[in-house]
Amino acid sequence: MKNTFGNAVTLTLFGESHGSAIGAVIDGISPGIKIDEKSISEKLARRKPCGVGGTKRREDDIPEFLSGVFNGYTTGTPLTLMIKNNDTRSSDYEAMRSVARPSHADLTAFYKYGGFEDYRGGGHFSGRVTAALVAACAILSHALKTKGIMIGTHICSCHGATDRTFEDYEKDIRALAGKRFPVLGDGKDIEEQIRKAALAGDSVGGVLETAVINMPEGVGEPWFDTLEGMLAHAVFSVPAVKGIEFGAGFDIANMLGSEANDQIRMENGRPVTVTNNSGGINGGISNGMPIVFRTAIKPTASIYKKQDTVDFMKNENTSLLIQGRHDPAIIQRAGAVIDAVTALVIADLLTVRFGTDYLGEK
Amino acid sequence: MKNTFGNAVTLTLFGESHGSAIGAVIDGISPGIKIDEKSISEKLARRKPCGVGGTKRREDDIPEFLSGVFNGYTTGTPLTLMIKNNDTRSSDYEAMRSVARPSHADLTAFYKYGGFEDYRGGGHFSGRVTAALVAACAILSHALKTKGIMIGTHICSCHGATDRTFEDYEKDIRALAGKRFPVLGDGKDIEEQIRKAALAGDSVGGVLETAVINMPEGVGEPWFDTLEGMLAHAVFSVPAVKGIEFGAGFDIANMLGSEANDQIRMENGRPVTVTNNSGGINGGISNGMPIVFRTAIKPTASIYKKQDTVDFMKNENTSLLIQGRHDPAIIQRAGAVIDAVTALVIADLLTVRFGTDYLGEK
Amino acid sequence: MKNTFGNAVTLTLFGESHGSAIGAVIDGISPGIKIDEKSISEKLARRKPCGVGGTKRREDDIPEFLSGVFNGYTTGTPLTLMIKNNDTRSSDYEAMRSVARPSHADLTAFYKYGGFEDYRGGGHFSGRVTAALVAACAILSHALKTKGIMIGTHICSCHGATDRTFEDYEKDIRALAGKRFPVLGDGKDIEEQIRKAALAGDSVGGVLETAVINMPEGVGEPWFDTLEGMLAHAVFSVPAVKGIEFGAGFDIANMLGSEANDQIRMENGRPVTVTNNSGGINGGISNGMPIVFRTAIKPTASIYKKQDTVDFMKNENTSLLIQGRHDPAIIQRAGAVIDAVTALVIADLLTVRFGTDYLGEK
Amino acid sequence: MKNTFGNAVTLTLFGESHGSAIGAVIDGISPGIKIDEKSISEKLARRKPCGVGGTKRREDDIPEFLSGVFNGYTTGTPLTLMIKNNDTRSSDYEAMRSVARPSHADLTAFYKYGGFEDYRGGGHFSGRVTAALVAACAILSHALKTKGIMIGTHICSCHGATDRTFEDYEKDIRALAGKRFPVLGDGKDIEEQIRKAALAGDSVGGVLETAVINMPEGVGEPWFDTLEGMLAHAVFSVPAVKGIEFGAGFDIANMLGSEANDQIRMENGRPVTVTNNSGGINGGISNGMPIVFRTAIKPTASIYKKQDTVDFMKNENTSLLIQGRHDPAIIQRAGAVIDAVTALVIADLLTVRFGTDYLGEK
């Protein structure tokens, strides 16, 4: 469904970096979900450039509700929020309009839209658009939390530097909620890598690790709408994601079956797995253990180095030094976006499973 | 859409391991695609157990067309194929009905379907069902080939042993088409790992690498229905997949932006990238370079070793030694299934883009 | 979604009149719905030619379950049923292949499928395909009945002759269930019209009236997936339907608001409407009153009279006298098909609303 | 898909009568469709109260584009337009909050949303929301017109008074485009009926007739996504519609097959039908003749007469005299909305058939 995702709860994302606004529509949302403005602004804050590097563009990111909210609760009708674009200087872009920035979407946008695309600042492809995604999904996230379902993401590695993995899931997720730089340890090595890249006019990527706890079991489908498939589908919308792995992930390729299999035992009257190499999912369906996945985030494509490229309107070789300020890394911001799409998928699948009232107070 | 995938071309998969038949319905398929029975049986052959280990269950796998085919061509109406299940001995399964095989879907199926599921031989979760998927997608694959679009998958690693990567894409893909054990090199080390696991009553997994060449540029969406998102969604339906990465994948997390970016130059009048770390996709849209991705396949969950588990009806601990014959590895078979879902996604997105006649001879 | 209908419960219809089989796949169905073979065969019987006129083609119509049924209950995985086509003599059709039968789909099929369509006996457009639809929806209908929701359709007029309208809904619906000629009165005038048309080598149509009782209130959407919109969408799939109206329908155009409005009063502790001009639906959502709608069925297009037409391959005028046996009316059979799609829509919307377990015994 | 409609081109409608704005998102729209502001404002003008009766609420209805438009053309990314709600006095509604207006959606909204609905002025159910629908679809309508496809609707009857039917389709449709009171004849009898109802504090409905000309043949699906089914689905979203009929419609129930069948002849090298009882559609697929359908519009539910009803929070009988100004008829305004959803369906099905570039200048 193009720029819409979901079966029972659908989210449509709209807007261009230098258009008048970005926004999102959520349809199929339960009536009676409390709009918790604090949780929305916290999540938006986590998506913003933090101390470590970061763009100077001032994004106020105050979402305005156009529909679907009444007296502080969702109504159950389509919820639309809009974030106005204020700080945009479009004149910068005209000159370089047809010089493709390497590993950006300039060229593919031209292929697809034939020149009608809004090319200013990445247009519809801009990471800016994720502010609307984060704001909208914060509402779902809050509803999930009232059911005990919590989602958290930390940077687990960046250009060789690493963070510890989850230990006490609930405690770790609560700790991450308040952090602008989402790490479980002190994160100094990771910050150092970002600073070094910034100094070199270069950029770095990293790996994010996400956990979802207290997921009801029995959710997901055996084929196609598997829990992994739905999560992966949504996660690859987050700009810069190049890979996703669940549980033991790619490491499982080097294990024996006897090592990889998650043996099972009874604990507090319910079956639990001894290990969680499956990442909380078997046969596409949740087994009640934490859902754990990692995503690979590429280095920011905009760097302060001259790169070879083409002018796709003149069809000739050229080179490019991208102007303006840009982040030396976006991993510290991407976590909030991964959390957002994860909340969307979980909310969608729960609504499919338990009906349209499930997530609200109705 | 549950057990259905696709926007313009949809595939619905049905059947249980020990039911009367498995099958698939493709809707939205172009009229006038030639049914090339040889290519179907070749692809089915690649999905079957080959010399290296393998189940003894004899699968004739002769698909029968119930609808949508007339005079050797697709009609454009829903195409249904069915493969009968002949060699099934269901009595084996009754005794162990509620003992969850570790890392299988027995427990999650029970959570979801509440005991109404067909538990015999994995039921709807069985890898058996992929025979219908492979047969149906072989028709799409053939149609893509008439447009020059070719898909190939090889085992790139298995429990430490490795295969070389793609060099001459077209030549390599052609070579893989005829191989029962899909490797680009001689594959002896990989075979050795599988044999060792078999001897130990254990199992191994591996990593598969897939390439799609001659992909038209400008296909895919910026958000949600990105090319990566659609491929990942479908690929996670292939049983045992635990991860997917595009282009440089997880390695990109250790690169600098200046290393990761794909610089661009003109070649034969069109822009090409010098490297392909993006895996042929920018901003969710094809850029005309080969689409390259790798998938992590877990070791076969059924092994000849006693494992701890629970009886989920009695809610008590127990242990299990799985009876019967099972593959020590399925990576050599999984490639055909990855190729199949890849063809489905590509056919779907091309049909979205270019209309319902695009893939046929109409 | 082309030849698939539904959001949470989807039905895909496949098959051609002279192919090897017709069938249907239902996905998203609740686990634990009893397969009541008697109710399936009763509904299939109501779709067959009854005493009054009727084709001579012998349709055994014994559905075979390929998947999704185990131990007499739905499993919750895709349910596929197939009805084999036995009595087909295809040679009849070759000669007239490109002579368009007036008001049939021969010409439009050629426009759409470009000659690749299976033209024998109407191919995928054949009313024959509705046997699979009726059989599949009989399962949903049975599940609805266990919730108290009942559906019934009678012929309310035919070429001037009329039947009485519903009086005691439940009693009338129960009475209709057992009737091969679905009328509430004695139906003699209607039978007479059909016989007269048959004698004249001509055909007649009519109007069907359908009621759904005990519908839970609060189901349907305000825009697009309104209850009326969903029902109408599905009902227009029933071959020969040319119109649908809810409640007072087209007559409402001649009423004053003060006559058309359904005033409300409390009855047994719940609000009921004094009249039911709205047909049980306000703002696209069920109000708990009986859902009532009427559909216009055109006369059978195949008649024993010479008609002007064209040969669409030669692009020249010609005339045609359609051979073989055909029904002088299908209204008496169409009721079973209207009931079927109504059950599909209701089951779908209830599953959207209340989740995937709602209709089963899980 | 709830409050979203379409397969390839989807429209999501949002907003409440007394919220901050109403709006629509169109996704899947071709890049390069010219935004013709004049045609948008003309269509919005036709939806507004005209001289004959009409609400006093001043609706400026100036759509603001939030996304998907650049340099006066669609970009191909999601197009969002918003119309701000200015003239709203919400305090009027609080007192009567739980007194159900007969034949409005107050009670069903309460059933569905459990009290969280925005009840002011009909909330999301308000006819006000159709302004966004009309504005968004005007863009599609303009694109269709560049392909020669034209849509027009006139009042064909109102409380006994009638208008002539279409004669010269193209000329009649062009004439209707400029009329605030959409009739083909002088319309005096119809205006008289509306005035009489207004004087009596009552309201009237009517029947609208719509034609689509120059429709490409071969568009639509045999089952479910039939052209009739898709149009009916969308049309029943237009508030107050209670019926739809194609071609000869309900009258066909009184015809013989020999009268109802559309015989065919060659004309200017292509097959045309002599009559158009099929309304331009056979087997769910366009045959190239004008698509003709009629819709029944109920009288405005708000009247100046005391009506019996219930207080659904107190669960007791009461009566109600609706305050404020309201239209004695909306048929003259509904035509613009019918045109809008018709353009949506046609644009969607053409994009499915011919691909995503079809409607633009790319």
**D24-53 per-position pLDDT tens digit:** 999 999 999 999 999 999 999 999 876 565
Distance of alpha carbon B340 from alpha carbon B234, whole angstroms: 10
CA distance B47 to B57: 13
Question: For residue A93, what pLDDT band results from cuts at 50, 70 and 90?
Answer: confident
Rounded Cα distance, C359 and C145, in Å: 10
pLDDT at residue B110 greater than cutoff 90? yes
Give the span between the Cα atoms of C235 and C339, in whole angstroms: 9
Shortest distance between the Cα of A59 and any Cα of chain D, in A, equals 17
Range with the poorest average pLDDT among A338-342, B275-279, D59-63 = D59-63
pLDDT (average), residues D236-255 = 97
Q: What is the pLDDT of residue C106?
A: 97
| A298 torsion bin: left (phi>0), alpha (psi -120 to 50), beta (else) | beta
Chain C residue numbers with beta carbons less than 8 Å from the beta carbon of D273 are 102
Local structure of residue D6 (DSSP, 8 states): -
Q: Phi, psi at residue D107, to the nearest 5°?
A: -75, -40
C-beta atoms of D356 and B353 within 8 A:
yes
**Among the ranges given (A255-264, C252-261, D37-46, D83-92), the one the predictor scored with the smallest mean pLDDT:** D83-92
Q: Is A164 helix (H, G, I), strand (E, B) or coil?
A: coil
In degrees, to the nearest 5, what angle opens at C-alpha A295 toward C-alphas A247 and A37? 105
User: Which residues of A are less than 8 Å from C353 in CB distance?
Assistant: 355-356
Q: How far apart are CA D153 and CA D343, in angstroms?
A: 12
**Which of D158, D250, D257 comes nearest C303 by C-beta?**
D257
Interface test with A, best of B124, B137, B156, B233 (most A CBs within 10 A): B233
Render pLDDT for A124-153 as a digit per residue (tens, 0 to 9). 999 999 999 999 999 999 999 999 999 999
Residue C351 backbone dihedrals phi, psi, to 5 degrees: -70, -40
pLDDT tens column, B295-348: 999 999 999 999 999 999 999 999 999 988 889 999 999 999 999 999 999 999
Q: pLDDT under 50 in chain C at which residues?
A: none
C-alpha to C-alpha distance for C123 and C164, rounded to whole angstroms: 37
pLDDT tens column, D295-313: 999 999 999 999 999 999 9
Phi then psi dihedrals of residue A346, to 5 deg: -65, -45
Interface residues of B toward D, Cβ cutoff 8 Å, are 7-8, 77, 222, 352-356, 358
| C-alpha distance from D124 to closest chain B C-alpha (Å) | 27
pLDDT of A53 reads 53
Q: Phi first, then psi: give them for residue D43, nearest 5 degrees.
A: -70, -40
Give the chain A residue whose CA is nearest to the CA of D357: A113
Please give the distance of CA A77 from its chain centroid, rounded to a whole number.
25
What is the pLDDT of chain D when averaged over all its residues? 94
Contact C218, D112 (CB under 8 A): yes
**Cβ pair B219, B286 in contact under 8 A:** yes
Number of H helices, E strands in chain B: 9, 18
The pLDDT of residue D88: 62
Helix (H, G, I), strand (E, B) or coil at D207: strand
Chain D positions in Cβ-Cβ contact with residue B355 (cut-off 8 Å): 352-355, 358
- Looking at chain A, which residue has its C-alpha nearest residue B344? A224
Q: Which of B5, B11, B14 to mutate to test the interface with C (most CBs of C within 10 A)?
A: B14
Average pLDDT over residues B247-259: 97
Using pLDDT thresholds of 50, 70 and 90, give the confidence band for residue B88: low
Interface mutation target, options B1, B226, B354, chain D, most CBs of D under 10 Å: B354
Q: How confident is the model at residue A56 (pLDDT cuts 50, 70, 90)?
A: low
Q: How far apart are CA B117 and CA B107, in angstroms?
A: 11
- Looking up tokens 């049975």, which residue turns up? C142
The shortest CB-CB distance from A310 to any of B219, B266, B300 is to: B266
The pLDDT score that the predictor gives to residue C332 is: 94
Angle C48-C51-C55 from CA coordinates, rounded to 5°: 55
Give me the residue from D22, D116, D123 closest to A362, CB to CB. D116
Band (B164; pLDDT cuts 50, 70, 90): very high
The radius of gyration computed from the CA coordinates of chain A, to the nearest angstrom, equals 21
- Provide the 3-class DSSP secondary structure of residue A102: coil
Average pLDDT, chain B: 94
Q: How far apart are CA D150 and CA D173, in angstroms?
A: 7
Residue D58 scores a pLDDT above 80: no
User: What does residue C107 show for φ and ψ, rounded to 5 degrees?
Assistant: -70, -45
Query: Whole-angstrom distance between the N-terminal and C-terminal Cα of chain D?
Result: 29
Count helices and strands (H / E) in chain C. 9, 18
- Whether C117 sits inside 8 A of B4 (CB atoms) is no
CA A20 to chain centroid: 23
Residue D352: closest CA among chain B residues belongs to which residue?
A: B355
Residue of A nearest to B230 (CA): A233
C-beta atoms of A253 and B300 within 8 A: no
Side by side, the strands of the sheet bearing D79-84 are: D4-5, D10-15, D21-27, D79-84, D64-67
Note the pLDDT of residue A89. 65
Average pLDDT of chain A, as a whole number: 94
Distance CA B229, CA A345 (A): 13
- Answer with the residue of higher pLDDT: A52 or B61: B61
pLDDT for res C55? 52
Q: Quote the CA–CA distance of C12 and B10 in Å, as a whole number.
A: 10
Mean pLDDT of D93-108: 92
**E strands, A146-274, where?**
150-158, 161-162, 206-213, 241-246, 264-267, 270-273
C-alpha distances in angstroms, B137 versus B337, B354, C11? 9, 19, 21
The predicted pLDDT at position B89 comes to 65
pLDDT for position A262: 98
Given a cut of 90, whether residue A90 has pLDDT beyond it is no
Q: Is the pLDDT of residue A181 over 90?
A: yes
Predicted local confidence at residue A170, as pLDDT = 98
Angle at A87 between CA A83 and CA A91, to 5 degrees: 125
Which residues in chain C have Cβ-Cβ distances shorter than 8 Å to D108?
217-218, 220, 281-287
pLDDT of residue B73: 98
Contact D135, D142 (CB under 8 A): no
| Chains touching C by CB (3 or more pairs below 8 Å) | A, B, D
Cα separation, B282 vs A242, whole angstroms: 10
pLDDT, tens digit, for every residue of A269-297? Answer: 999 999 999 999 999 999 999 999 999 99
Place of tokens 């644009």: D347
Report how far residue C277's alpha carbon sits from residue C67's, in angstroms, rounded to the nearest whole number: 42
Six token digits for residue C343: 């059950």
pLDDT for position A3:
86
Amino acid identity at A336 = A
A64 pLDDT band (50/70/90 cuts)? very high
**For C241, phi and psi rounded to 5 degrees?**
-75, 130
Confidence class of residue D2 from pLDDT cuts 50, 70 and 90? confident
* SS3 state of residue A300: coil
